[in-house]
Amino acid sequence: MKSSVRVGLMGLGTVGTGVVRLVQGHQNDLQKQTGLSIEIKKVLVQDLDKERSISIDKELITTDPLDLVASDDVDVIVEVIGGINPAKQYILDALDNGKHIVTANKDLMALHGAEILKKAEEKGCDVFYEASVAGGIPILRALVEGFASDRITQMMGIVNGTTNYIMTKMSQEGADYNEVLKEAQQLGYAESDPTADVEGHDAARKMAILSTLGFHVDMSLEDVDCKGISQVTSEDISYAKKLGYEIKLLGIAKRDDNLIEVSVQPTLISRKHPLASVNGVFNAVYVYGEAVGETMFYGPGAGELPTATAVVSDLVTVVKNMKLGVNGRGSVAPYMEKRLKNDEQIISKYYLRLVVADKRGVLAQITRILSEHDVSLEQVLQQPYNGGAQAEIIIVTHKATRKDIYAVRREFEGQDSVLEVKSLYRVEGGEEE
């Protein structure tokens, strides 16, 4: 009978260092929970001589992945190197060698999760990836286990801390987008190339993972309609506040009669909704189940120890499964047919900001166009613009189909009196919800 479980750790960056700290510092607790000690046997790095913030035996460090994936002395691979290649091949090779996998790799699981899980099922191995979404928040385990007897109909999430930090600073301080982005980069919240965060790609990968687990369908990244925050202005945020909303980059996944929509986009969220008060680098995921109703999971979405906590939690689950002899039986492959909504089936309220000629009859013309496309008004603001020669008209509609609202936008863009359609964003929450 084993007295310890031997871990091969791939990566000794921020998260990898956190994993080592937790395994070393919580060894007694981990042994009490699992009945086995957890031993880090090998650590894969790129540079053997790099100075590190944690003390680790140099005999454990290697630059050869075969020392982990093909070694008889390693039971579980913890992958925190990130990216698609070579991480994907390392994991597939490790599974071929009968090793269990814990990963924090959202890119890999969003794009190739189905292939990896299928291989794990064939080999009778565990693959857990709680840390790939929302850092230290145990949302994936909640979807798989906590909602096992329920039917999830909606998930909305703030799942990218960088964009939430930017939107919070713009909202609370009236700061300019470019200024806050530069500050986020200086603080280490945003990369030197922030595209994956600010254009919504990071959040889209996480929403693909959440919707796959929550709706039991094989949701691919291409199925997620994605728009980032780079065009959101301080004016939009100010007007949203006047109308009773905050603007957040929201991941939205909804299921109605087995028809699914998944998107990431700047969204006006009612200030009465709990997601509206999630600020800074924090993440939150709101889940609606038919039986349980509304729940929300909130916490730090990144960082060394929050993310490492999720990794080690998955590691504990693997060890417990090893003791029970049930590895490879915990995950449920997608079993529902994927049926995506079209533009006529996606229904929401919308926010529009227009620059128009400030003359008689323009508002009546706008109202007529909306009415012709079966779009009705919930709120309207009109403000002077450009010294009074023009005006801004800010509209929140009642619920309308995306097909109709896009048709409205096209018609507005063809009107001489409408000089520019400045903004078009989705609206969630409020009286109709």
The CATH H-level (homologous superfamily) assignment of domain 139-300 is Dihydrodipicolinate Reductase; domain 2 (3.30.360.10)
Percent of the chain exceeding pLDDT 70 equals: 98
Q: Helix H segments across 325-383?
A: 362-372
State the Cα–Cα distance between residues 252 and 370, nearest whole angstrom: 25
Query: What is residue 148's DSSP assignment?
Result: T
Report DSSP letters for 15-54, one per residue: HHHHHHHHHHHTHHHHHHHHSSEEEEEEEE-S-TT---SS
User: Domain coordinates of the chain in residue numbers?
Assistant: 4-133+304-324, 139-300, 347-428
287: Cα separation from own chain's centroid: 13
CA angle 63, 114, 88 (to 5 degrees): 15
What is the predicted pLDDT for the residue at 329? 79
What values do phi and psi take at 410, rounded to 5? -60, -40
CA angle 408, 411, 416 (to 5 degrees): 135
What is the predicted pLDDT for the residue at 397? 97
State the Cα–Cα distance between residues 12 and 24, nearest whole angstrom: 14
Written as one letter, the residue type at 332 is V
Note whether 355 and 392 are within 8 A (CB): yes
Note whether 150 and 289 are within 8 A (CB): yes
Omega before 86 cis (within 30°)?
yes
Decide: residue 116, CB within 10 A, 0-12 exposed, 13-18 middle, 19+ buried.
buried
**pLDDT (tens digit per residue) in 117-164:** 989 999 999 999 999 998 888 899 899 888 989 999 999 999 999 999
CA nearest to 356, candidates 386, 314, 325 = 386
What is the predicted pLDDT for the residue at 301? 80
Give the pair of three-digit tokens for residue 414: 């063809």
Residue ranges of the chain with per-residue pLDDT less than 70: 1, 330-332, 430-433
State the Cα–Cα distance between residues 204 and 207, nearest whole angstrom: 5
Report DSSP letters for 285-323, one per residue: EEEEETTTEEEEEEEE-SSHHHHHHHHHHHHHHHHHHHH
3 state SS of 283: strand
Residues comprising the chain, all counted: 433
What is the predicted pLDDT for the residue at 53? 86
Note whether 6 and 60 are within 8 A (CB): no
Note whether 383 and 353 are within 8 A (CB): no
3 state SS of 144: helix
Q: Is 227 a catalytic site residue? A: no
Note whether 48 and 15 are within 8 A (CB): no
Catalytic residue among 119, 123, 169, 206: 206
Written as one letter, the residue type at 312 is V
Provide the CB-side half-sphere exposure for 215 (13 A, CA): 28
Decide: residue 60, CB within 10 A, 0-12 exposed, 13-18 middle, 19+ buried.
middle
Decide yes or no: CATH 3.40.50.300 for domain 4-133+304-324. no
Query: What is residue 81's DSSP assignment?
Result: S
Decide: residue 292, CB within 10 A, 0-12 exposed, 13-18 middle, 19+ buried.
middle
State the Cα–Cα distance between residues 108 and 95, nearest whole angstrom: 15
What is the dotted CATH code of the domain comprising 347-428?
A: 3.30.70.260
